[in-house]
Structure 1
Amino acid sequence: MAIRPAEQIIHKAAWLYYAHGLRQDEVAKQLDISRASVAMYLRKARETGIVNISTSTQLFAEDVLARQLEDALKLDAVWIAPQTEQAADPAAEVPVLAASVFLELVRKGDRIGVAWGRTVYAIADIMSYADLQDVTVVQLCGNLGAPYSYRPDQCTMEIARRLNAQGTNFYAPLVLTTEALARDLRAEPVIREQLASISDCDLALYSVGTVDADSHVVKCGALRPDEMDALRQRGAAGVIAGQIIDARGAALDCSYNRRVISADLKSLAAIPKRLMVVQEDKKFEPLIAAIAGGLCSHLVVGAGMARQLLDHAKTMAG
């Protein structure tokens, strides 16, 4: 499996020092650690063979790919779940890695925003239990009807339960029938305060959805397949926290978005750590849109998606 999240900083320090040629004080400044810590991490990198590229395994190659993606996409951190012959479903490895990454990113007193969907619920379901102090987990968007699996409130409360944290749900539907009704509900003091507090989060956890018949907003009944198709023709590229985004990662100007009760995309982009987790390679275009919109600072993907992203970045740069 890939380098454990707790050890990733060793790899990052070695990458900056040996691959980028930065001095130890420059590495320390970029990683916001002491120079003494850099020296210690470089020593560990040599002792564990991380910098011995000539004898590295595929495991190391995948972590080099992670560092290359960080450089190319200007992301704070990237983790890659490797494709192995032993894994019956390579995509299933992504939530396992993401759950570990997520726990590494959470700090005492953090406020965490959580969206919804199969990937987020899979992360919550596999996450280890932790006893963190003064952590609050908040729902990033309105709720769905009872029959739908992986509802926003389920994802939020399951993660809060795993962290022994306080959970805060949105007591509003995801989509209203009219724009006026949605506007009035957003103006209600409780909902207004909840939406306004999203930018105060320290960490966000979400995935990005497709804009086709398999989209979760179609499957949950928020949009019909023909309505989604029409939005795609108008430039829809992905779905974030129930909202339709265009190729720039901005909210698409459409009636559906004006009827949605969800965190403003600018509020999401203001969260310091925005952990995006993507299992399926078919979500390449939605993920590119989310990255373009500044909605991702930390990324967990599979090896196939990672190579697609790096190839795309090279094409755009060249």
Structure 2
Amino acid sequence: MPAPRDTATVVQAARLYHEDGLSQTEVARVLGLSRSNVSRILAQAKERGIVEITITDPDAPPVRDDALGEALAARFALTEAVVVTGGRGQALDSVARAAAALLRERAPSLRSIGVSWGQSVQSVVAHLEPVRLRPAPRVLPLVGGMSDLDQLDSGDSVLRVLAARLGARPEPLFAPAILESAAASSTLLRETSIRSVLAAAAEVELALVGIGSTGLHSSPRLLEAMALTAEERAIVHAQRPAGDVCGRFVDLDGTPLGPPTADRVLAVSFPQLARIPEVVAVAAGAEKAPGVLGVLRSGALDTIVLDVHLARAVLAGA
């Protein structure tokens, strides 16, 4: 048996082959070795644990961490907490597939479903397997529209796609989610068509929502769309927003923020969410921990679906 190579050579050969995509012949040329030597070095890299190969089946169901889920449920008095594993770059996909499976399981017994928007909710709806329900549930928006936040890659709205996959007809809200003034919001809420849809959305049996974390992803765009003055931005900053649901912000203690943000949103409120029988929230990525923690403390959620890294970060901050 040939003597093992020094670690530096093994690592260099492994990087050239596995990371840079060189063939064994090309690696041999770079290192001034024979191809057979390179083959043996790469075998040593596996034997010595320098190279580890992981095979991921994208069609396999997400693996649940029940211990973490139970810890989250107990800490925040949730009905259910689903925590799933996901490899690098796969956390959102794993969370979305788990939430889609949960929604499909719940759907046959529901008469009405409400949905918000955002990347996490988009992913859940994209993974939802079609099922034709009879009678079909009402499918309602929990919040007004906001360009790409409520559209799938196909360009169709989250609301329409969700309804189609449940064999239902969507009941749209023809109004923007975010307004530039409290006066504009008040004017639109006097419209019967808008007021009636939001009132019905507040009465759904299940709500599917995403969770934002201040400063990340779509959350900054919500504040930008409000066209806040410098004085108003200072007020919001003093309120210390941590997370958001349906365009509405909470601080780290779970207290909903007041004006100027609260009166520029067309959406169900936190008290209304709290009265819905089941609010299912989805989020992925440990960086969202402050936002998720604030929303959990609001008491508006009943069920949550997270990846393991985010779940651990939330528990560590609780």
1:5-84 to structure 2, matched below 5 A, reads: 62-84=65-87
Q: Which amino acid aligns with 1:176?
A: L
Residues 217 and 242 in structure 1, CA contact (< 8 A), matched pair in contact too: no
Mapped partners of 2:149, 2:258: distance in 1: 28
Note the C-alpha offset of 1:312.
3.5
2:170 maps to 1:156: no
Q: Which amino acid aligns with 2:168?
A: A
**SS of the counterpart of 2:301?**
coil
Q: Which amino acid aligns with 2:266?
A: I
Name 2:115's counterpart in structure 1.
114
User: What is the total number of aligned residue pairs between the two structures?
Assistant: 250
Q: Deviations over 1:21-46 (max 9, x none)?
A: xxxxxxxxxxxxxxxxxxxxxxxxxx
2:241 maps to 1:244: no
Residues 67 and 78 in structure 1, CA contact (< 8 A), matched pair in contact too: yes
Name 2:177's counterpart in structure 1.
174
Name 1:96's counterpart in structure 2.
97
C-alpha distance 107-303 of structure 1, shift in aligned 2 (>3 A): same
Q: Deviations over 1:100-133 (max 9, x none)?
A: 1111122334211100001101111111111112
Mapped partners of 2:197, 2:112: distance in 1: 12
2:202 maps to 1:199: yes
Q: Could you state the TM-score of these two structures normalised by the residue count of structure 1?
A: 0.71
Query: Which sits farther off after the overlay, 194-203 or 280-289?
Result: 194-203
Note the C-alpha offset of 1:220.
9.2
After superposition, the CA RMSD in angstroms is 2.6
1:125-144 to structure 2, matched below 5 A, reads: 125-133=126-134, 134-144=136-146
**SS of the counterpart of 1:156?**
helix
Structure 1 stretches lacking a partner, 5+ long = 1-58, 314-318
C-alpha distance 189-128 of structure 1, shift in aligned 2 (>3 A): same
C-alpha distance 64-256 of structure 1, shift in aligned 2 (>3 A): closer
Mapped partners of 1:218, 1:144: distance in 2: 10
**SS of the counterpart of 1:274?**
strand
Identity of aligned residues (%): 24
Q: Could you state the TM-score of these two structures normalised by the residue count of structure 2?
A: 0.71
Residues 285 and 309 in structure 2, CA contact (< 8 A), matched pair in contact too: no
The structure number with the bigger radius of gyration is 2
**SS of the counterpart of 1:107?**
helix
Name 1:289's counterpart in structure 2.
294
Residues 283 and 306 in structure 2, CA contact (< 8 A), matched pair in contact too: yes
Note the C-alpha offset of 1:166.
2.0
Residues 180 and 225 in structure 2, CA contact (< 8 A), matched pair in contact too: no
Residues 249 and 295 in structure 1, CA contact (< 8 A), matched pair in contact too: no
Q: Which amino acid aligns with 1:284?
A: A
